[in-house]
Amino acid sequence: MRARPFRRLAAPLTFAALAALCAPAQADTYQTVKVAAGKMLFDATCHRCHSVEADKKSYGPLLDGVVGRRAGTFEGYPYSDALKGAGFVWTPGALKAWMEANDEFVPGTKMRHVGITDPTVQEFIVAYLESLLAK
Ligand code: HEC
């Protein structure tokens, strides 16, 4: 009889404990999925102009390390005057605005309009670009 209250609580407690144990793992998994999806989207929409490997020349500037970098400052890249003089730092928010309408965000840029308006796609690509910093 005395075990009863415990038994009634056992299932919810076990569930709560398992949920607590799994929460960090789930967050990690979600992050991994976001980065993997972001890489696929990046490869499909950005990679033909942008490299993420320092030793590869590409039409656009290297994007490894772009998060937190001042706009228009990757050494040796011939930026447009517009981006060279922009003066801001690439935050996730700035990257999203750029993907959405780069020619409005920095009028006079020479990057062709890509027009990625889906916030999820923007977020995944940013997650991928952020993950490059961790290497
Ligand atoms: C058709 C080629 C092309 C495509 C596609 C392209 N870019 Fe660009 N990108 C460029 C060029 C060229 C520049 C340099 C712009 C300038 O100097 O005004 C640039 C600049 C940038 C910059 C500024 C980097 C810096 O050092 O300040 C970012 C960020 C960027 N692109 C992100 C992206 C992302 C993300 C995608 C995919 C969603 C993408 N680009 C797709 C050609 C492209």
Q: Domains of the chain by range and CATH?
A: 9-133 (1.10.760.10)
Consecutive H or E run containing 9: helix 4-45
Which of 41, 43, 46, 58 to mutate to test ligand 1, by most ligand atoms within 8 A of the CB atom?
Answer: 46
Return the pLDDT at 2.
Answer: 55
11-42 burial, b at 16+ Cβ within 10 Å, e below that, comes to eeeeeeeeeeeeeeeeeeeeeeebbebbbebb
The sign one gets for the Cα dihedral 44, 50, 51, 52 is negative
**Cα 103 from Cα 86, distance rounded (Å):** 13
Q: Model pTM?
A: 0.84
Give the Å distance between the CA of 50 and the centre of ligand 1.
7
Confidence category of residue 16, pLDDT binned at 50, 70, 90: confident
Give the Å distance between the CA of 31 and the centre of ligand 1.
24
Lowest-confidence range among 3-17, 54-68, 69-83?
Answer: 3-17
Residue type for position 76: G
Q: Is the pLDDT of residue 86 over 90?
A: yes
Confidence category of residue 9, pLDDT binned at 50, 70, 90: confident
- What is the rounded average pLDDT for all residues in the chain? 89
Give the Å distance between the CA of 44 and the centre of ligand 1.
14
Q: Is 116 in the pocket of ligand 1 (CB under 6 A)?
A: yes
Give the Å distance between the CA of 24 and the centre of ligand 1.
34
Per-residue pLDDT averaged across 112-116, rounded?
A: 95
Residue percentage of the chain with pLDDT more than 70: 93
